[in-house]
A and B are shown apart, each in its own frame.
Chain A
Amino acid sequence: MVAKATAFRDADSFGILVDRYQSRVRGYLRQLTREPAAADDMAQETFIKAWKKLETFSAKGSFSSWLMAIAHNQFLQALRKSKRQRRLIESLDAEAGSPEALSGMPSPAGSSELPDLPKLLAILSKPEQAVMLLGYGFGYSHGEIAEITGLALGTVKSHIHRGKARIRETLRLGELEDA
Chain B
Amino acid sequence: MHDHSQDSMDLDLRSIFRQGIEQPYDDAFRMAVCRKIKRRSRIRRAVLAAAIATGSLIALWPAYQLTPAISESLAHLSSVWNGVDWSLLQPSVSVVTIVALVTPLLTVALEE
Q: List A residues at the B interface (Cβ < 8 Å).
A: 9, 11-12, 14-15, 18-19, 22-23, 26-28, 30-31, 36, 40, 43-44, 47-48, 51, 108-110, 114-118, 120, 132-133, 135-143, 157, 160, 164, 167-168
Q: Are B3 and A11 in contact (CB under 8 A)?
A: no
Knowing A11-B38, A22-B30, the reply to whether A141 touches B17 (Cβ < 8 A) is no
Given A137-B17, A139-B1, 14 additional A-B pairs, CB 8 A: A11-B38, A12-B34, A22-B29, A26-B24, A28-B21, A30-B24, A44-B29, A44-B33, A115-B16, A120-B13, A120-B16, A132-B13, A132-B17, A167-B9
| Chain B residues near A137 (CB-CB < 8 A) | 17-18, 20-21
Q: Are A168 and B1 in contact (CB under 8 A)?
A: no
Q: Are A27 and B22 in contact (CB under 8 A)?
A: yes
Q: Are B16 and A109 in contact (CB under 8 A)?
A: no
Produce 1/0 per residue, B1-28, CB < 8 A to A: 1110000111011111111111111000
Number of A-B contacts (CB under 8 A): 107
Q: Are A136 and B34 in contact (CB under 8 A)?
A: no
| Chain B residues near A19 (CB-CB < 8 A) | 25, 30
- Of B9, B20, B33, B40, the contact of A168 (CB 8 Å cutoff): B9
Q: Give A131 Cβ to nearest chain B Cβ, in Å.
A: 10
- Of A18, A110, A133, the contact of B29 (CB 8 Å cutoff): A18
Knowing A40-B29, A48-B37, A142-B1, the reply to whether A133 touches B21 (Cβ < 8 A) is yes
Distance between Cα atoms of A157 and B3 in the complex (Å) = 10
Q: Are B33 and A167 in contact (CB under 8 A)?
A: no
Q: Are B24 and A23 in contact (CB under 8 A)?
A: yes
Distance between Cα atoms of A116 and B36 in the complex (Å) = 36
Distance between Cα atoms of A11 and B17 in the complex (Å) = 33
Knowing A14-B34, A31-B21, the reply to whether A141 touches B13 (Cβ < 8 A) is no
Q: Can you name 24 A-B residue pairings with CB atoms under 8 Å?
A: A18-B30, A23-B23, A23-B25, A27-B21, A28-B21, A40-B24, A44-B32, A47-B33, A51-B37, A108-B9, A110-B8, A114-B15, A114-B16, A116-B16, A117-B17, A120-B13, A120-B16, A133-B17, A136-B1, A136-B10, A136-B14, A140-B1, A141-B1, A164-B13
